[in-house]
Structure 1
Amino acid sequence: MVNKLSKGVSVLSTVSIMSFLFATKVSAQFMSFTTQNYDLPGPEEDLMVWVLKIINWLIGASALVAVVMIVFSGFRYITAAGDENRISKATKTLTFAIVGLVLCFISGMIVNFVLSNILNQ
């Protein structure tokens, strides 16, 4: 135990001494920094364009979730094996997934209409 501790202390002290002995001089305070304006790549876009992109992405993601739920409800319906309770759960899941998909399409149309016509985007 003492041997491991003394070995660890000697390694730590050696590394510390070496880092202080071989440290390089940094003259950051004497460096001259020029302020240049660099153009960012891509077109300039304002905040409303970004908001529209984010909203459209979220609507697309929720539509994807609705489609996955439609497939999942179909799987539940196929594997119900004639059980009325499982068939009704699959039917409810399918109904809610279709309603969600329709709401995604309607919300996408409303958002695009409002932002393009009313806000002139």
Structure 2
Amino acid sequence: MADISKLSIAADQDEPTPEKKPGYSMTTPGPRISQPMARDITTDFSAAASALNTGQLVKDEYFTLFEAVGALEIMDPKMDSGFLNPGETLEDDYDVLRELLPEEVLGIMDQMLCYEVS
């Protein structure tokens, strides 16, 4: 079991002291203006991800089984209804205006009756 305390990306980030925060003075009370601080987390993320074993999942309390199954469906040919294999298209090759043989019409009617009964 991996130690998940290493997974916190912000654990090593120091909270700026009031003197370092813009718009805040130690002598005069004033509005506290917080500005976002952007930084590259690629190496931190890679280190945190390497602490996980195969099959482990880190999630928050809002990530449910429904979202997990939805995430697994993407790009899976059996689960993703919009996935197309290379060379496949959504266009039908069937000509609906062509003449049908009597056997084909009976076959279609038989199949529709089976659907209706079941």
Alignment TM-score, normalising by the size of structure 1: 0.19
Higher relative contact order at CA 8 Å, sep ≥6: structure 1 or structure 2? 1
